[in-house]
Each structure stands twice: as structure tokens, then as C-alpha cells.
């Protein structure tokens, strides 16, 4: 018998305010047509002024716990991926822990920008496999609207706010690729790409939160290549091939990146969960949001083989192969 980290609950939360592309036409030299054709984005959600990352994360966590039929006291650990924490410290994860009324266990944040949820999932799996936790709440939550330069048309039209969460539970499997749960992960980073995507402020530099800066076109080319290769590496580690995939659940940055990666993997777009048109790029929240929406749409079903993959600032990138 082999221990596996199995998804037993999923949920998400999106702030109420929906911002259609047309809203940017009022203040910037841009158009709905440009944004749709270059990125696939039609709208995104922006948090209310008094709504924070921990608020979004708490609502998503509550939805995932309800889906699992569990209460906060049943959870051993919370891992939360974000680059837009409420405060420099404490972690958003401990704020969520307190809001959920969870008085035992441990909680911490992971910061790997858009790849954050993949890193968090992989770490949650490691905690479960090592016996340090039996049930882990894994959350991706962001308020990227707070770090956007609303005068930079090349970036501010691309990102949105939101949160998604999964509950993972230790279960026994047979040790074969037919098992439910996380089957393999592949993590990578290369800090020499720092200038491609970064925030120009921080605690030990400017003392401010800063604004997002991105070299979109070179990053685009890195993304397709690295996402396909990390998906392949994780699949190989799981002993599976492209033909075994039921769904790719990619980071939702740009429909053209999603299409390019699917093509490199030899898969048609009807095997890809796509939410970028409605959410924009929600960084670490995009994969759990897509998992939750994909399940609600009836796309993702128990037993399906999923490949999730993401790339973001660092650069940091990776993939997780799991059976739902």
C-alpha cells in the first residue's frame, strides 16, 4: 500500500465587482478587441477597497471545507500561496487559520508568484507523505489589483483578484498510476530571469509594496516552452503519457499560452479547462479557481487524470499530476 494525497474538497471565491475590458478603454489607449485577441481575457474581478487577500482566502477555504463535509478542526495544516499578503507578516495562512476558528495545527504562506499553487500542492503532498499532516487545506489567494500600475496598459488589463482552495487527505492507494490523488510533481526555478516579471518595491528596498513590471513578449515565449517541458517531466515521473490525460488545468495567464502548451502536448482544447476569459490572470489563485469552476461545470469528474501547470515571477514553474 502507498500513501496518497487525495482531493476531497474544492471551493473558490471571486469578489463581487466584475471589470469588463471596456472599462480600461475609458482611461487607457487600449481596446476590448486588443485585450481579447492578445490574451483571451474578457473580464476580471477586482476586490472591494476594504476586501483583503485573507478575506478572499477564508471564503474559498470555507467553500472547500463544506465541499469536503469537514470543519476547520479536522484540518492539520494550511498552506497558502500568495504574493499579495494583507501585511508583511503574519502570514495570510495564520489569518485564515484564526478566521476559520482552527486552534491547532500549523499554517504558513508560500511565495512562488503564479507558480505558487503548484509549489503549495507539492509541499502539502510532501507533508502528507512524511506523516506530518493527514489533512491539509491548500489555498491560492490574490489581490493583484493592489500591485497593478493602472497607467501601464501592457500589464493592468491582464490581472484579476480571486481565491481557490482544495482539501487534501491522506488515503491508501495501490502505488499505481490508477490511484486517486497526487501522482507526481515537478518544480523548477531560475532566478536569472528576475527582470522578466517582478514588483518594483518591497520591505527591504523601497519600503513600499511596489507595482508589477513585466516583459510580456519574452515571458510568453519562455512560458510555452517551460510549461510543456514541466508537464512532460511530471507525467514521466508518474509513469503516464499524453494519451492518459483527461484534463489540463493550466495557469490562466493568456489563452495563447494555454493553446500553445496544449499543442506542444499534442492535446486538443476540449481537454483544457479554460477560465481566463472570466478571471484574467489571478496568479496563485488561478489553478484552484479553475479546478473549482471545472468541477462545477461538470468537466472534472472523479477518477479523471489532471495535469496542472504554471509559470510566474522568478522565474518559477512546475506541474502536478493528480487523479481527481
Catalytic residues: 114, 251, 281
Nearer to ligand UT7, 62 or 259 (CB): 259
Nearer to ligand UT7, 181 or 318 (CB): 318
**Residue from 220, 242, 244, 271 that binds ligand UT7 (CB under 6 A)?**
220
| Sheet strand arrangement including 135-143 | 2-13, 161-173, 135-143, 77-81, 106-110
Span 50-109, contacts to ligand UT7 by CB under 6 A: none
Binding mask 8-27 for ligand UT7 (x = CB under 6 A): --------------------
CA distances for 173 relative to 35, 74, 93, angstroms: 45, 21, 29
Residue 281 near ligand UT7 by CB under 6 A: yes
Using CB positions, name the residue nearest to ligand UT7.
216
Helix (H/G/I), strand (E/B), else coil: 241:
coil
# residues near ligand UT7 by CB under 6 A: 21
Residue 282 near ligand UT7 by CB under 6 A: no
Beta bridge partners of 247: 306
Beta bridge partners of 318: 187, 310
Binding mask 246-275 for ligand UT7 (x = CB under 6 A): -------xx--x------------------
Nearest CA to 37 among 61, 54, 21?
21
Q: Quick one: which H or E segment has residue 43?
A: strand 43-46
End-to-end, the C-alpha distance of the chain in Å comes to 19
Span 168-197, contacts to ligand UT7 by CB under 6 A: 197
289, 142 contact by CB (below 8 A): no
Nearest CA to 295 among 7, 81, 3?
7
144, 161 contact by CB (below 8 A): yes
Residue 219 near ligand UT7 by CB under 6 A: yes
Residue 34 near ligand UT7 by CB under 6 A: yes
Nearer to ligand UT7, 159 or 324 (CB): 159
What would the grid cell of residue 186 be? 515537478
DSSP 130-152: TTS-SEEEEEEEEEGGGG--TT-
Nearer to ligand UT7, 54 or 254 (CB): 254
Q: Which stretch binds ligand UT7 (CB under 6 A): 48-56, 103-111, 201-209, 217-225?
A: 217-225
Q: Which stretch binds ligand UT7 (CB under 6 A): 77-85, 216-224, 240-248, 291-299?
A: 216-224
- Give the interface with ligand UT7 as residue ranges (CB under 6 A): 30, 34-35, 38-39, 114, 153-154, 157, 197, 216-217, 219-220, 223, 253-254, 257, 281, 311-312
Amino acid at each position: 500500500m502507498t500513501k496518497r494525497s487525495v482531493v476531497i474538497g474544492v471551493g473558490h471565491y471571486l469578489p463581487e465587482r466584475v471589470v469588463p475590458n471596456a472599462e480600461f478603454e475609458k482611461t487607457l489607449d487600449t481596446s476590448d478587441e486588443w485585450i481579447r485577441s492578445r490574451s483571451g481575457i474578457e473580464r476580471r474581478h477586482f476586490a472591494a477597497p476594504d476586501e483583503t487577500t485573507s478575506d478572499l482566502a477564508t471564503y474559498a477555504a470555507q467553500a472547500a471545507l463544506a465541499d469536503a463535509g469537514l470543519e476547520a478542526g479536522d484540518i492539520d495544516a494550511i498552506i497558502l500561496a500568495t504574493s499579495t499578503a494583507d501585511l508583511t507578516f503574519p502570514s495570510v495562512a495564520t489569518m485564515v487559520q484564526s478566521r476559520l476558528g482552527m486552534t491547532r495545527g500549523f499554517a504558513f504562506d508560500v511565495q512562488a508568484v503564479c507558480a505558487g499553487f503548484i509549489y503549495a500542492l507539492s509541499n502539502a503532498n510532501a507533508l502528507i507523505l512524511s506523516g506530518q499532516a493527514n489533512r491539509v487545506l491548500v489555498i491560492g489567494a490574490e489581490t493583484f489589483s493592489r500591485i497593478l500600475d493602472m497607467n501601464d496598459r501592457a500589464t493592468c488589463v491582464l490581472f484579476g483578484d480571486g481565491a481557490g482552495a482544495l482539501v487534501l487527505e491522506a488515503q491508501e492507494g495501490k502505488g499505481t498510476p490508477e490511484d486517486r490523488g497526487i501522482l507526481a510533481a515537478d518544480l523548477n526555478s531560475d532566478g536569472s530571469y528576475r527582470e522578466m516579471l517582478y514588483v518594483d518595491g518591497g520591505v527591504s528596498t523601497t519600503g513600499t509594496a511596489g507595482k508589477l513590471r513585466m516583459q510580456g513578449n519574452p515571458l510568453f515565449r519562455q512560458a510555452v516552452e517551460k510549461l510543456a517541458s514541466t508537464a512532460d517531466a511530471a507525467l514521466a515521473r508518474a509513469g503516464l503519457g499524453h494519451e492518459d490525460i483527461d484534463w489540463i488545468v493550466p495557469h490562466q495567464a493568456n489563452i495563447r499560452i494555454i493553446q500553445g502548451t496544449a499543442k506542444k502536448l499534442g492535446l486538443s482544447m476540449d481537454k483544457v479547462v479554460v477560465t481566463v476569459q472570466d478571471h484574467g490572470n489571478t496568479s496563485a489563485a488561478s489553478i484552484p479557481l479553475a479546478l473549482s469552476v471545472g468541477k462545477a461545470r461538470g468537466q472534472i469528474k472523479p477518477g479523471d487524470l489532471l495535469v496542472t501547470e504554471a509559470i510566474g515571477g522568478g522565474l518559477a514553474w512546475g506541474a502536478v499530476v493528480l487523479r481527481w
